[in-house]
Amino acid sequence: MSLLATTALALSAGVAYAEVSVSGNARMGLKYDKNASTTQIEKRMTIDMVGTTETSSGITFGAKLRLRSNEPTAGQGIAGARVYMQTSGFELAMGNIDGAIESMPNLYSPSVGLTGLGWQGLVTNTVASRFEWDSYSSTGNGAEGIEAIYSAGAFTGHVSYSEPTLSSGASAQKRAAAYGAYTMNDWTVALGVQKSSTVGEDKVVLTVGGNVGDYGVGIGFADNDGTKKIALNGSATFGATTVSAFIADEDSVAATDLSIGLGASYDLGGASVVGGVERGATGNTRADLGVSFSF
């Protein structure tokens, strides 16, 4: 017993504290797609589990795991873990990484609706390519990459790299990405770049966003391996109601229309009624309406 107690004390001597937190969110509603001529139930539940421990020297080690239940046909499962360490404004993570482009400030600001609809406001999405960058997978292993994040004062820098290994042992696509962001008062400017071994995935991205009282304003531009896209977005808050909108344009021949979107949310105090409508670059219209909440 004395030996066990001594061993336990030795193992715990360098640990200041350990903690496991559980949080999540859920939504339910209806979504409509004109091209598919369908209106269907939308529901999703997500649970995040984060475990952290801090050494006596002040280094934090942690890991994040996600559980998600989505529509019946897809999106069910346990996500691969993102394991990380943090110290003095620096973070190093491996596994199911967040990805530099995905983490850029204001990238998702031109989004509307309960579900994001077609995500047409993102300057990194075009008619020919969508979500072709590393991001945290909610149901799979994700990029299986490595990333480093550093923050000091108003500056944040983020670099990521992935080179997944296929079951055959051959190397899959390789992606390297980075962004730098600087915040002044209520405004943030971010510049990002991605290089990929897959044709069509190289990107240069610029986002600017800020607030003027109860109004939000943003602009984004991206060169998606030759396809250029620009988007403007804005939002306004009136009491418990927030209205948001965007307009986006890309120079590909497949884009026959401007992408436009309008959304609104009403805060119920613990939950929100959220809805939106969006017309994409090829003329398709999507809409949704429902309730979302966090816990």
pLDDT at 39: 94
Nearest to 52 by CA among 87, 78, 21, 81: 21
The stretches in the chain having pLDDT less than 50 are 1-15, 167-168
pLDDT at 60: 97
pLDDT at 73: 59
Report the alpha-carbon distance of residue 124 to residue 201 in Å, rounded.
10
pLDDT at 72: 63
pLDDT at 177: 98
pLDDT at 18: 85
pLDDT at 213: 87
Report the alpha-carbon distance of residue 61 to residue 271 in Å, rounded.
32
Given a contact cutoff of 8 angstroms between Cβ atoms, the answer to whether 158 and 178 are in contact is: yes
Q: Which domains does the chain have, with CATH numbers?
A: 8-38+46-294 (2.40.160.10)
Consecutive H or E run containing 264 = strand 259-267
pLDDT at 168: 47
> Which residue in this structure is represented by tokens 């962004």?
179
pLDDT at 3: 38
Report the alpha-carbon distance of residue 287 to residue 264 in Å, rounded.
12
Given a contact cutoff of 8 angstroms between Cβ atoms, the answer to whether 295 and 24 are in contact is: yes
Report the alpha-carbon distance of residue 199 to residue 164 in Å, rounded.
17
